[in-house]
Chain A
Amino acid sequence: MTQNSASKLLNGYALHQTKQDKKAGGNGFVKNHCLFQQKRYRRPAEKNHHASCTSLYKKPFVESFEETPLLVAVLTYMSYGILTIFGYLRDFLRDWKFEKCHLAREREVQKDFVPLYQDFENFYTRNLYMRIRDNWNRPLCSVPGAKMDIVEQVTHDYNWTFKDTGNIMKDVLNMGSYNYLGFAENTGACADAASECTMKYGVGVSSTRQEIGNLDKLEELEKLVASFLGVESSMVFGMGFATNSTNIPALTGKGCLVLSDELNHASLVLGARLSGSTIRVFKHNNMQSLEKLLRDAIVHGQPRTHRPWKKILIIVEGIYSMEGSIVRLPEVIALKKKYKAYLYLDEAHSIGALGPRGRGVVDYFGLDPSDVDIMMGTFTKSFGAAGGYIGGKKELIDYLGLHSHSAVYATSMSPPIAQQIITSMKCIMGEDGTTLGQERLCQLSENTTYFRRRLHEMGFIIYGNNDSPVIPLMLYMPAKIGAFGREMMKRNIGIVGVGFPATPIIESRARFCVSAAHTREMLDKALNAISEVGDLIQLKYSRKNRHGSEGTDCFSFLESHQD
């Protein structure tokens, strides 16, 4: 049903395009050289259905960002206003010692030092975050699998400090961990292999790759990763965050331009910043914006000197973890080829979680991995381990081996961690002789579709691509993060709430990560609870046609924009 309607949508869209093209030609407009025309009818601020326009896509690419209802936006700003006013009031009371201040204080002897923090830095933490702090950092005491055990904590001072009650909340349904393929396990092939490896190798390495920490296990892993990705060579690092922040500086530098998606992860931003290159930001997943930046960059060269850029590196992510959107990779690759830029693809969330063979976003679109210059990803999520990798041409990896900050200065990856990745990756590839991996991939994609469809039918506003296992559900108001999190926890379901500064100020959200380990019953339980809480605190914001098919919706969108 969905497929059908979506392909109809594609046709409708294509038709619309040609009509506009003709009109432009008739006006005597010189042939447009851009790959992706500026679509003037789409107001930049508006977020709505993105549908693919060209034949680059082999299957429907449906991504939705329903607009924030105006009333909700106004109310959300108001609620921030109220919180701020009360914050100032409370600060005043604290200053005058009417209210007990729980904040840690500077040492008396260092009172006359320059203050370590500026007051406004902590205003948000002190007065807003502190009210709902109990929703984060809940300590686990089990595997972070489909179900988890959480140490119960209480606070007697309004979230300033927490104490263990001694109880354990058993079998909380885990909708928050990035355990896409369910490899967070303490039994089974992976755990057994990792145990064996622990006994053989120990857990530490105590040296760097270049010095004397180049274990055979890591070389084995690198070969496997390269064959998994379909690239010539690969290199692994001990931390996903550091994979970005320590390798981008090795690839670009002064006189180079980095084009970065506005929603790129902090590690990518940090890496780009450390590299010393010029950074320009394009609108999230917006190919027109990217193309404009590319054209301008090449035509105008570097600012002031007008020398041509040495090279241009486009940095995108596979799945954006806060929006649940999937990068428009076919278009990015087309652009990168046309403008001779290089492409850095961060598959932190998409590797293992997307594509019929679990090879990430490249596999999902059926593209050639060699079109992506730098394939980066992490092992934290789908593989249930830790660390990151970079894959690509042999020259690239050889160069990184000599110039990566991590290879020279950071301790190598722990051997049992490497073993966990090897075993889980082999399982996904089917090299363990079972179809277990393939089953997990299917299960994940089924779960994703089911969960997204049901949430949509219930009338929630959910963001992102239909195929993305990261599912943000919009809450908008900051207080609702707390309310939603607590109500769900009461129903024994653990969810993740995200608010400012990780999201735009009015777009607080709850985020679900669907896993292959979730059974249909678990998902139903979660969905029922979400619906119940959604009614309780009024979260069903969507004004779209709920029970009808999405197709009609999209058509109405197109019609309304054919001006």
Chain B
Amino acid sequence: MASGQQWVLVEMVQAFYEAPAYHLILEGILILWIIRLLFSKTYKLQERSDLTEKEKEELIEEWQPEPLVPPVSKDHPSLNYDVVTGPPSHKIIVNGKECINFASFNFLGLLDNERVKLKALSSLKKYGVGTCGPRGFYGTFDVHLELEERLARFMRTEEAIIYSYGFATIASAIPAYSKRGDIIFVDEAACFSIQKGLQASRSFVKYFKHNDMEDLERLLKEQEIEDQRNPRKAKVIRRFIVVEGLYINTADLCPLPELVKLKYRYKVRLFLEESMSFGVLGEHGRGVTEHFGVNMDDIDLISANMENALASIGGFCCGRSFVIDHQRLSGQGYCFSASLPPMLASAAIEALDIMEEDPGIFRVLQDKCKHVHEALQGTPGLKVVGEPLAPALHLQLENSTGSRTNDLKLLRAIVNYSLERHIALTLARYLDKEERFLPLPSIRVVVTVEQTQEEIEKAAQCIREAAVKILK
């Protein structure tokens, strides 16, 4: 066998020697041709036409950018804000008229509370106003630590973290955990700062219909099927449900117990934004968890701002240390921003004190909410949107005119009518083009503990009059 092979080789070499020169040259050329074909592109690219300097210069000369901002028409309805003179407390002076405040989220009336003011003042005398640095770089004050501890204790969680701006709280918290490729299930009615958090996280966002647990479960099931198809990928995709406790846009509650059930069934983490419900719902004002009697530990993260019930500035997140501590290095609004001025932290501590000392205040607020809800029923042409226990209700037009601008005009007229009669209301404002699901136009009615029976009656009466007059 081996000898046979050798013979072939010898034959080949011999043939090579015997072949005529032209044959060899031809074969050589063929081989080169094959190599060329192998290494050259199969098709010819168009001749590249590089622009000459002159052409470039012309292009640059030609280019006209859009104006930085489009012109704003002089008679835009919201161009000139209502001016508030003096403190925005129970009695508020709007455009020079003293009104009863039905517009600020000062639910517990702590905004002009003497104790809070004095505490802030003493803090100011000790620390000055600003912190001149982020938390990491000498911007942490003992009052920040105290406030965090107090909030954690109040909410019965392991740890709390404070932000210097309510809007930035949940907007920073979401992208700290959820990254590109992760999945977030969100209620359609979620507020704007949640939407910004989702956008910053760059995760897949799946919206479910407002408070529709079946729709959420459908999405979760879909995901489950998807996971079974690709189990390796499923093992690294984090999933979150983000909901509000009490929705600011719809004034209704999330079905928390069902959400918790779904959370465990589908192994999804649950984030809860409680800016409207913290200091409002529950026997001690702990919010929607207390209202439903849900175990705090079942919620992975609770976030709320300190600008509504606590009537200070800033926001906080709380939950287990395992979750919260991560934000101290990954929460953008926490790491890269100056810390909360100490006097505002002190004010929040004092407000917490007041809440803890007198839990009866929440009962009072609840009664007022119910009262307002009741009093506003049957306003001709307007419907009350929201639950009786919500402290910030919406009044929407029963029959829309068909155009958002006209609807807003009508509602604006009602607000102005009330302002004239010393009732301060406001339209709920949205960025029409930026909202994912733009809520219907509405007037916001905010309930605070300071409003008396008569004032509530008067306001309801006034709105009724306005509605009769304007909507007819």
Write the chain B residue with the least CB distance to A410: B167
Q: Which of chain A's residues 156-172 have a Cβ closer than 8 Å to chain B?
A: none
CB distance from A485 to the nearest CB of B (A): 11
| Per-position binary interface string of chain B over residues 221-256, scored 1 when its CB falls under 8 Å from any chain A CB and 0 otherwise | 000000000000011111100000000000000000
Q: Which of chain A's residues 357-397 have a Cβ closer than 8 Å to chain B?
A: 373-374, 378-381, 383-386, 395-396
Residues in chain A near residue B103, CB distance under 8 A: 207, 211-212
Q: Which of chain B's residues 31-80 have a Cβ closer than 8 Å to chain A?
A: 51, 53, 56-57, 59-60, 63-72, 76, 78-79
Please state if A395 and B72 are interface contacts (CB–CB under 8 Å). Answer: yes
Residues in chain A near residue B106, CB distance under 8 A: 204, 206
Please state if B124 and A416 are interface contacts (CB–CB under 8 Å). Answer: yes
CB distance from A444 to the nearest CB of B (A): 14
Residues in chain A near residue B393, CB distance under 8 A: none
Q: Which of A233-241, A448-456, A457-465 contacts B (4 or more CB under 8 A)?
A: A233-241
CB distance from A270 to the nearest CB of B (A): 6
Residues in chain A near residue B145, CB distance under 8 A: 139
Write the chain B residue with the least CB distance to A340: B65
Say if the beta carbon of A277 comes within 8 Å of chain B. Answer: no
Write the chain A residue with the least CB distance to B425: A212
Say if the beta carbon of B136 comes within 8 Å of chain A. Answer: yes
Indicate whether A340 sits within 8 Å of B63 (C-beta atoms), given known contacts A177-B133, A211-B444, A266-B336.
yes
Residues in chain B near residue A148, CB distance under 8 A: 138
Instruction: Specify which of A116, A184, A311, A378 is in contact with B177 (CB 8 Å cutoff).
Output: A116
Write the chain A residue with the least CB distance to B107: A206
Please state if B86 and A204 are interface contacts (CB–CB under 8 Å). Answer: no
Please state if B332 and A266 are interface contacts (CB–CB under 8 Å). Answer: yes
Say if the beta carbon of B94 comes within 8 Å of chain A. Answer: yes
Write the chain A residue with the least CB distance to B63: A298
Q: Which of chain B's residues 87-116 have a Cβ closer than 8 Å to chain A?
A: 87-89, 92, 94, 101, 103-106, 110-113, 116
Instruction: Specify which of B78, B127, B196, B326 is in contact with A210 (CB 8 Å cutoff).
Output: B78
Please state if B92 and A216 are interface contacts (CB–CB under 8 Å). Answer: no
Say if the beta carbon of B204 comes within 8 Å of chain A. Answer: no
Say if the beta carbon of B29 comes within 8 Å of chain A. Answer: no
Say if the beta carbon of B126 comes within 8 Å of chain A. Answer: yes
Instruction: Specify which of A110, A176, A340, A420 is in contact with B64 (CB 8 Å cutoff).
Output: A340
Please state if A386 and B130 are interface contacts (CB–CB under 8 Å). Answer: yes
Say if the beta carbon of A408 comes within 8 Å of chain B. Answer: yes
Indicate whether A206 sits within 8 Å of B338 (C-beta atoms), given known contacts A145-B128, A198-B343, A242-B165.
no
Write the chain B residue with the least CB distance to A397: B69
Q: Which of B360-368, B427-435, B453-461 contacts A (4 or more CB under 8 A)?
A: B427-435
Indicate whether A142 sits within 8 Å of B127 (C-beta atoms), given known contacts A195-B121, A212-B82, A416-B343.
yes
Please state if A208 and B267 are interface contacts (CB–CB under 8 Å). Answer: no
Residues in chain A near residue B110, CB distance under 8 A: 204
Residues in chain A near residue B133, CB distance under 8 A: 144, 176-178, 380
Q: Which of chain A's residues 421-461 have a Cβ closer than 8 Å to chain B?
A: none
Q: Which of chain A's residues 113-133 have a Cβ closer than 8 Å to chain B?
A: 113-118, 125, 129
Indicate whether A396 sits within 8 Å of B69 (C-beta atoms), given known contacts A185-B128, A199-B121.
yes
| Per-position binary interface string of chain A over residues 78-122, scored 1 when its CB falls under 8 Å from any chain B CB and 0 otherwise | 000000000000000000000000001111011011111110000
Say if the beta carbon of B313 comes within 8 Å of chain A. Answer: yes
Instruction: Specify which of B71, B131, B191, B320 is in contact with A386 (CB 8 Å cutoff).
Output: B131
Residues in chain B near residue A415, CB distance under 8 A: 87
Please state if B87 and A201 are interface contacts (CB–CB under 8 Å). Answer: yes
Instruction: Specify which of B59, B135, B165, B307 is in contact with A299 (CB 8 Å cutoff).
Output: B59
Please state if A246 and B130 are interface contacts (CB–CB under 8 Å). Answer: no
Say if the beta carbon of B422 comes within 8 Å of chain A. Answer: no
Please state if A214 and B81 are interface contacts (CB–CB under 8 Å). Answer: yes
Say if the beta carbon of A411 comes within 8 Å of chain B. Answer: yes
Please state if A386 and B338 are interface contacts (CB–CB under 8 Å). Answer: yes
Q: Give the distance in Å from the alpha carbon of A203 to the alpha carbon of B110 in the complex.
A: 10
Q: Give the distance in Å from the alpha carbon of A212 to the alpha carbon of B99 in the complex.
A: 12
Say if the beta carbon of B199 comes within 8 Å of chain A. Answer: yes
Instruction: Specify which of A206, A210, A266, A274 is in contact with B311 (CB 8 Å cutoff).
Output: A206
Residues in chain B near residue A416, CB distance under 8 A: 120, 124, 129, 343
Q: How large is the interface on A (under 10, 10 to 19, 20 to 34, 35 or more residues)?
A: 35 or more
Please state if A140 and B142 are interface contacts (CB–CB under 8 Å). Answer: yes
CB distance from A530 to the nearest CB of B (A): 17
Say if the beta carbon of A25 comes within 8 Å of chain B. Answer: no
Say if the beta carbon of B354 comes within 8 Å of chain A. Answer: no
Q: Give the distance in Å from the alpha carbon of A191 to the alpha carbon of B165 in the complex.
A: 22
Say if the beta carbon of A72 comes within 8 Å of chain B. Answer: no
Residues in chain B near residue A380, CB distance under 8 A: 130-133, 338
Please state if A205 and B104 are interface contacts (CB–CB under 8 Å). Answer: yes
Q: How large is the interface on B (under 10, 10 to 19, 20 to 34, 35 or more residues)?
A: 35 or more
Please state if B236 and A204 are interface contacts (CB–CB under 8 Å). Answer: no
Q: Give the distance in Å from the alpha carbon of A182 to the alpha carbon of B420 in the complex.
A: 46
Residues in chain B near residue A203, CB distance under 8 A: 111, 116-117, 120, 311-313, 343-344, 347
Instruction: Specify which of A214, A308, A379 is in contact with B83 (CB 8 Å cutoff).
Output: A214
Instruction: Specify which of B128, B191, B427 is in contact with A143 (CB 8 Å cutoff).
Output: B128
Please state if B237 and A214 are interface contacts (CB–CB under 8 Å). Answer: no
Say if the beta carbon of B379 comes within 8 Å of chain A. Answer: no
Q: Give the distance in Å from the alpha carbon of A167 to the alpha carbon of B2 in the complex.
A: 94
Please state if B192 and A405 are interface contacts (CB–CB under 8 Å). Answer: yes
Instruction: Specify which of A30, A295, A378 is in contact with B338 (CB 8 Å cutoff).
Output: A378
Residues in chain B near residue A23, CB distance under 8 A: none
Q: Give the distance in Å from the alpha carbon of A395 to the alpha carbon of B103 in the complex.
A: 29
Q: Give the distance in Å from the alpha carbon of A494 to the alpha carbon of B133 in the complex.
A: 13
Instruction: Specify which of B67, B84, B323 is in contact with A214 (CB 8 Å cutoff).
Output: B84
Indicate whether A270 sits within 8 Å of B332 (C-beta atoms), given known contacts A144-B132, A299-B51.
yes
CB distance from B121 to the nearest CB of A (A): 5
From B87, B164, B333, residue with most partner A Cβ within 10 Å: B87
Q: Give the distance in Å from the alpha carbon of A496 to the alpha carbon of B305 in the complex.
A: 30
CB distance from B2 to the nearest CB of A (A): 55
Q: Give the distance in Å from the alpha carbon of A406 to the alpha carbon of B434 in the complex.
A: 13
Q: Give the distance in Å from the alpha carbon of A285 to the alpha carbon of B313 in the complex.
A: 36
Residues in chain A near residue B347, CB distance under 8 A: 203-204
Please state if B129 and A117 are interface contacts (CB–CB under 8 Å). Answer: no
| Per-position binary interface string of chain A over residues 134-161, scored 1 when its CB falls under 8 Å from any chain B CB and 0 otherwise | 0011111111110010010000000000
Please state if A202 and B131 are interface contacts (CB–CB under 8 Å). Answer: no
Q: Which of chain A's residues 465-504 have a Cβ closer than 8 Å to chain B?
A: 494, 496
Instruction: Specify which of B105, B128, B321, B341 is in contact with A104 (CB 8 Å cutoff).
Output: B321
Write the chain A residue with the least CB distance to B428: A211
Say if the beta carbon of A401 comes within 8 Å of chain B. Answer: yes
List 25 A-B residue pairs with CB atoms under 8 Å apart, sorted by A's residue number.
A104-B320, A137-B135, A137-B328, A144-B127, A144-B133, A144-B138, A177-B132, A183-B130, A184-B132, A200-B87, A201-B87, A202-B111, A202-B113, A205-B307, A205-B313, A211-B429, A212-B101, A241-B168, A242-B168, A384-B129, A399-B72, A405-B196, A416-B120, A420-B130, A496-B138
New A-B contacts (4) at CB < 8 Å, excluding given A104-B322, A198-B343, A215-B83: A143-B126, A200-B86, A206-B105, A416-B124
4 closest Cβ contacts across the A-B interface? A239-B165, A410-B167, A204-B311, A241-B337
Binding site for A on B (CB under 8 A): 51, 53, 56-57, 59-60, 63-72, 76, 78-79, 81-89, 92, 94, 101, 103-106, 110-113, 116-117, 120-121, 124-133, 135-142, 144-145, 158, 164-168, 177, 191-193, 196, 199-200, 234-239, 264, 267-269, 297, 305, 307-308, 310-313, 320-323, 325-326, 328-329, 332-333, 335-338, 340-341, 343-344, 347, 424, 426-431, 434, 444
